[in-house]
Amino acid sequence: MKRWFVLIFLISIFLIPAYADDLTTDSSLNQNLTVPLEMVSALDRITGEISDELAVIKEQNRISAESLRTISISGDDATSVLERKLETVPYGHSSLIISPDNIITAAAPTRYSGLIGTDLSYQPETRFANEKQEPVISNIFYLEEGFYGISISYPIFSEDDEYLGYTDITIRPEEFFRPVIGPFTEQTGYEVFILQTDGMTVYETDEVEIGRNVLTDPIYDTPEMRNVSHAVLEHEDGTVIYTFWDKNWKRQVPRQAIWNTLSLDNQEWRVAVVRNLEEAERQKGAGDRELGPDNLNASLTDLTQFVQDAAIFARTAGQESACDSFNNLSGPYVSGDRYIFAYTMNSTTLALPYQLGLLGKERPDLFDVNGFAIMPALIDTAVKGGGFMYGVYPNPDKDFQNLLKIYYIEPVDSDWFIGSGLYIPWITAEFGSDEIHALIGRVKQAVSHAEKVGKEQAIMDFNDLNQSFADGGSYIFAYGYDGTTLALPHQPELIGTNRMNFTDVYGVPVIYLEKRAAERGGGFVYIVYYNPDSGNNELKLCYVLPAGEDWFVGSGIYLGKGIT
């Protein structure tokens, strides 16, 4: 939940029995305030969908626990049970088996096999699950897998009902909740946050705040914010008025949050929907600069020059003076939806003229609506020396509507970089959640196949046009981390060649960005690439996962059209 500043020193709290559609209060500021029915129904729908997704995970955990009743909780058979379970849960990040004495005895996928034998007794969440010996949804905590996540666990009992430990599925909140919440926030303009009752942020539309405690974290240390936080945490449902930055961190506006409580097993989460109480101010754009497919290449040339000139200015003027100019809405570096942004190499925001509330904040977990990790890709591109990449980002000239954007990045020096981009309004680049689920599942199945049959046989299978791995535009591809092409069934002439320096038609380094995503544990990448179903170059959302220490696999969804 964002730092909340109260509209007045006495915050107005309304408990909402049965979600009454017309709320009243003695406060003159709120005498005409109502909670929109669509906001109430949206809250119920989001809470219900999250419950349904958690129930699916619980059921898959139960099935795996039943399978483990008759086999050892360690070894290949146990690992196979975990692998099969993960194949059925698109946003399951990992799965472990924990013995009663808190030792990891099995782990999947194989990149976490090194955790086997690790003693987790230091983790209160692990001890709690073993003490309860029943289904548990943990609090958010820093996992041995290396991220803030949640462990959803299920006990394992032998055929003689002896407690053998538990198995779990771990989720990364930003990956798990985004498919449910992301489409809603895009359609309505509302925001969503989820809190544990101890104040820890399980999910926030501004994902950098996940894992922070609204009661203890220094960034929330204002009396007003504490009052609002306590109000939400101490009531199972209600609504509150406060003032804070709008969702684009452009200006502070009056806001209203309505929340209820999701209870499942031992866990209680406060789930809230937030709206602005006044219309967002539309930024005036430069009407004389119309971008279209016919002049895209010329515009990309102009974009490159614009960023390179700004980088020269930044090296000459210094970081502080340059960023003052970049953040000046009336200055030479802002014109409608074309502007210079700047970040340090550790993701701290230095310049973002239409979202000044984000200045000074770190944004390592900046993702777009399709799950693409924008910030890591920006940094990777800068470290590589600069260049082009794609992403979906709010357009300030179109009421912050999410649009496809071609970025050009330039490092200023080893400490920070700048960039700008062209929005592509004629391309709708938001992919359906069912398509994305299927994509992730397809790649996970390919990894699982490689683990079962070995690298050599798997690569042969991926290249076999008679197998399902080479099914038209849904084909599986594979590369070594050195760039060597291992599997590309519809372009067999490229197998064995090194494509690390390959770029698409707009200069985006395809294999490099896919490799970097795989090295981070997996993720999405946008490219423009040949579609074997149509024979054309089309925009493609790829998902990649590491398949071993030296190679990765992936697949993609084609949009069905090119950018031009």
Residue recorded with tokens 């993702």: 367
Query: Token pair of 261, please?
Result: 């409580």
Q: Is the pLDDT of residue 167 over 90?
A: yes
By percentage, how much of the chain surpasses pLDDT 90? 62
19-73 confidence digits (pLDDT tens)? 333 333 333 334 345 677 778 888 888 999 899 999 999 999 999 999 999 999 9
> Among residues 531, 525, 536, 521, which one has the least CA distance to residue 558?
531
pLDDT-derived band at 398 (thresholds 50, 70, 90) equals confident
Residue 195 clears pLDDT 90, i.e. is over it: yes
CATH architecture of the domain formed by 293-423: 2-Layer Sandwich (3.30)
Could you give the angle at the alpha carbon of 549 between the alpha carbons of 546 and 551, nearest 5°?
55
User: Is pLDDT of 217 > 50?
Assistant: yes
How many CB atoms sit inside 10 A of residue 114's CB? Answer: 11
The helix (H) or strand (E) run that includes residue 44 is: helix 37-67
Residue with tokens 């904040």: 361
Residue bearing tokens 């961190």? 249
How many residues appear in the chain?
564
Handedness of CA 66, 70, 71, 73 (dihedral sign): positive
Query: Is a pLDDT exceeding 90 seen at residue 563?
Result: no
Q: Give residue 226's pLDDT.
A: 80
Cα–Cα dist 362/348, whole Å: 4
Q: How many Cα atoms within 13 Å fall on the side-chain side of residue 531?
A: 19
Alpha-carbon distance of 38 to 47, in angstroms, equals 14
Percent of the chain scored above 70 by pLDDT?
89
More confident residue, 234 or 212: 234
Q: Which H or E run contains 478?
A: strand 477-480
Spatial neighbors of 471 by CB under 8 A, at least 6 apart, are none
Q: Residue 535: exposed, middle, or buried by beta-carbon count in 10 A (0-12, 13-18, 19+)?
A: exposed
- The whole-angstrom separation of Cα 476 and Cα 324 is 47
On average, the pLDDT of the chain sits at 86
Mean pLDDT of 207-216: 81
CATH architecture for the domain at 5-34+189-276 = 2-Layer Sandwich (3.30)
**Which residue in 358, 357, 354 sits closest to 334, CA to CA?**
354
Cα separations in angstroms, 203 against 106, 208, 213: 29, 9, 11
For residue range 45-57, list pLDDT tens digits in order: 899 989 999 999 9
CATH of domain 50-172: 3.30.450.20
- Kindly report whether the global pTM for this prediction surpasses the value 0.85: no
CA distances from 435 to 85, 174, 331, 474 (A): 20, 18, 42, 11
pLDDT per position as a tens digit, 439-451: 999 999 999 999 9
The CATH code of domain 433-558 reads 3.30.450.20
Give long-range contacts, CB 8 A cutoff, 24+ apart: 481-485: 481/515, 481/518, 481/519, 481/550, 481/551, 481/552, 482/550, 483/511, 483/512, 483/515
| pLDDT tens profile 350-382 | 999 999 999 999 999 899 989 999 999 999 999
How many CB atoms lie under 10 A from the CB of residue 314?
A: 25
Distance CA 28, CA 231 (A): 20
> Confidence class of residue 275 from pLDDT cuts 50, 70 and 90?
confident
Q: Taking the domains of the chain in order of start, what are their residue ranges? A: 5-34+189-276, 50-172, 293-423, 433-558
Identify the band that residue 240 occupies on the pLDDT scale cut at 50, 70 and 90: confident
